[in-house]
Structure formats: C-alpha cells, structure tokens
Amino acid sequence: MSSPGFVELLGLSAAVGGGIGGGISALFNYLFNVRDLKKKNKISQIKEKVELYSYLIFQLDRMRFAWHAFEIKEGRKPEESEYEHFVASGSEKEMIREMEKKIEQGYHLFSQEIMKEWAYFSNLFFHPTSIPKIPALRRMLIQEYNDKIILDYQNLTGYELQKNYELKLFLASYVRLHILQTRI
C-alpha cells in the first residue's frame, strides 16, 4: 500500500475544511436568523402595544377634554374643580364596550395592575368612587407607554416615537379652540 500523494492529501483536507466551514457558516446563519426573528417578534408586539395604549389614552383624554369643555360652557373653571369624565348620555356603554373589545384582543399586552384599574373603571363607570380611578388608569397607561414601550421600541429599532405627555398645553389650546368655536 502506498502512502497518499500530495494531491490526495490536499483534496482530503479541502473537503474536510469545506465541510467544517460550511457547518460553522450554517450554525452562524441559523443563530443570526433566530436572533433576527426574535427581534422582529418583539418589535411586532411593541407595535401592538403602541396602538392599543394610544387608543386607550385617546379615549380617556377625549372624555377629559369633553368634561373640560362642558365645565367652561357651564361657566365653571375646570382647573379649580375635581377631575371627572364626561360622556354623552347613552353612549357610555358603547364606548366602554369598544374599549373592552380592544383590551380583550390585547389582553396579553397588559400588566395585572392596569387590568385591575380597567376592571374598576369599566364596571363602576358612574359610581363616585370611579372618579379618581380614571386619572389613575390614564397615568398608569401613560407611564408604561412613555417609560417602557417607547424605550423598548427605540432600543430595538433605533427610531424615535413621540412620548404621550400629560398634554396640559394641548388641553389649554383645546379649551381655547372650543371657546372660540362657541363664540363664532
């Protein structure tokens, strides 16, 4: 039996090297694809949260702005009175039902604390004890939106989203606009 020649050794080492290199390449490709898929799933979940939280904050702000406009129309100063919510008579059940549908679809996106506040708010909407629960729920939503959801989105994508601030300046301009519209 003769010893293998140089060409045979070169061919064998190329085949072994190619196999090992291909295996390592496949492993890295797999790991990067898994990481990329996980990142895309996280981004998708954060986008769902952004949509859901934005919708709920909008609905709560709409009630708050309507109450402020109503107070001004009645000649009262809303800044000096306790926060309340205002919904046109008869539409409150439909509004809560629509919000409930959205929450039901995104239940997995909420903490238990927010769900607890939501349950209190939605079940005792007209009870006097619900009045302080509404701003508490809104603050919890805004705090999680600003401090967690937006930061997670920015860290994963590099894109910035606008934070949902307490909207005090927006409220003042909204009330002024409403007053101007009623005078015209």
142 touches 164 (CB < 8 A): yes
If you search the block for the tokens 């995104």, which residue do you land on? 106
Q: Tens of pLDDT along 157-168?
A: 888 877 765 544
| 152 close to 43: Cβ distance less than 8 angstroms | no
Which residues, including other chains, have CB under 8 Å from residue 47's CB and lie 6 or more apart?
153
Using CA atoms, how far apart are residues 50 and 163, in angstroms rounded to an integer?
10
How far is it, in rounded angstroms, from Cα 119 to Cα 101?
Answer: 13
Which pLDDT score, from 0 to 100, does residue 52 have? 92
Length of the chain: 184
At 22, the pLDDT band (50, 70, 90 cuts) reads confident
Q: Average pLDDT for residues 65-73, to the nearest whole number? A: 79
Ramachandran region, residue 167 (left: φ > 0; alpha: ψ -120 to 50; beta: rest): left
Ranges assigned E (strand) in the chain:
none
Q: Interhelix angle for 6-73 vs 150-157, to 10°?
A: 150
Give 134-150 pLDDT, tens digit per residue: 878 888 999 999 889 98
Residue 164, pLDDT score: 67
Most confident residue range from 13-27, 34-48, 56-70, 83-97: 34-48
Q: Which two tokens stand for residue 179?
A: 């007053």
Return the closest-CA partner of residue 152 out of 53, 4, 13, 22.
53
Q: Which amino acid, residue 46?
A: I
